[in-house]
Structure 1
Amino acid sequence: MSKYRKKPVIIDAIQLTSESLMDCISFIYPDISVIDHQTLITIRKNKFLYIETLEGDMKAQFGDYIIKGVQGEFYLCKPDIFEVTYEKVE
């Protein structure tokens, strides 16, 4: 068995919170310019947002990080894992 180290790759990520909700939606869906007000209220109330990933639709809960991969794909990361895996570069 061999050991491997993850290659250092800079990624774009945003933490999903009530305050960052619009930024998260713009990050995931850059072509959407208008969001129904009731939809925003529902997302804030339920504290989650579904996003499309390579593994299918995933439930991003408030506090989770939404990461854009090197090929433009999105995936989720729990905050405790994100904080030990990534460091801010800018």
Structure 2
Amino acid sequence: MTTTCYRKRPVEVDTVQWTGDNEAELVEFTGHRFEAIPAAARAENPDVTAQVYDELHDTWVGVKTGQHIVRGVKGEFYPIAEDVLAETYERVEPGPAATEATDARTTTRVFAALHRAAEQDVTRVIDLYERWVKAGPPPIGTPMSRWWDKRLVELHDAILPPKTQLRTPDELRERAETDDITIHPAACTCTYGARCPNCRA
């Protein structure tokens, strides 16, 4: 017979001890998977004063007063006696170094997300600027206030894009009809579509 030796990986788990009168705390800790058993319902096993639902095994597990409720590595909950807990685990006190490292990681993630969002905004504005340069000045006879208003709307949409982007030519035509804009495809070869000052009357 050949045996293989394994060592259990070091894991950290969270626990809350069932004292008999902290049901609300354990209900919150387990996400409503814990309930105390009334004294009248404990006739068969009077030592079991509560129960916790173990999703991993899809069953309710009896809990005795003084036992700890452990949240396992897969999010499951199970009871463990205090002496077994002391033999199996050692208490971890969060030190300042661990807290600082966690804060640093969180800050890094936040700044990375902000950087990505800002980079996307800048890319959209640069693309808009290049389209403006390609389109050239407003057509003769176009009121400047109307032309600038359209540019400001385009700039606003580039910085804060609308939730639904117009993509198909039919959608562009519908937008032009609702905005009373006439599209002249042969007048300009830009990519503005309905929003181009050279493609409308």
Partners of 2:36 and 2:79 in 1: how far apart?
A: 20
Partners of 2:80 and 2:53 in 1: how far apart?
A: 14
Aligned-pair CA distance for 1:42: 3.4
Give yes or no for the alignment of 1:26 onto 2:28.
Answer: yes
Note the alpha carbon deviations across 1:7-62, whole angstroms, 9 max, x for none. Answer: 011111111113533221210126xxxxxxxx87937xx76211111331011111
SS of corresponding position for 1:5: coil
- Note the residue ranges of structure 2 that are not aligned, 5 or more in a row: 40-45, 94-201
* Greater helix content: 2
After TM superposition, list the pairs within 5 Å mapping 1:33-44 onto structure 2: 42=38
SS of corresponding position for 1:75: strand
- Equivalent residue number for residue 74 of structure 2: 71
Structure number with greater CO (CA < 8 Å, separation at least 6) is 1
- Equivalent residue number for residue 58 of structure 1: 61
SS of corresponding position for 1:84: helix
Quick one: structure 1 residues 64 and 29, their matched pair in 2 at CA, closer, same or farther if it must change by over 3 Å? same
* Greater strand content: 1
RMSD of the alignment, in Å?
A: 2.5
- Equivalent residue number for residue 88 of structure 1: 91
Q: Which has the larger radius of gyration?
A: 2
Structure 1: which amino acid aligns with 2:81? K
TM-score by length of 1: 0.73
Aligned length: 81
Return structure 1 stretches of 4+ with deviation > 3 angstroms: 39-43
Partners of 2:37 and 2:71 in 1: how far apart?
A: 25
- Note the residue ranges of structure 1 that are not aligned, 5 or more in a row: 31-38
Further displaced range: 64-73 or 15-24: 15-24
Structure 1: which amino acid aligns with 2:88? T
Partners of 1:86 and 1:19 in 2: how far apart?
A: 25
Quick one: structure 1 residues 23 and 86, their matched pair in 2 at CA, closer, same or farther if it must change by over 3 Å? same
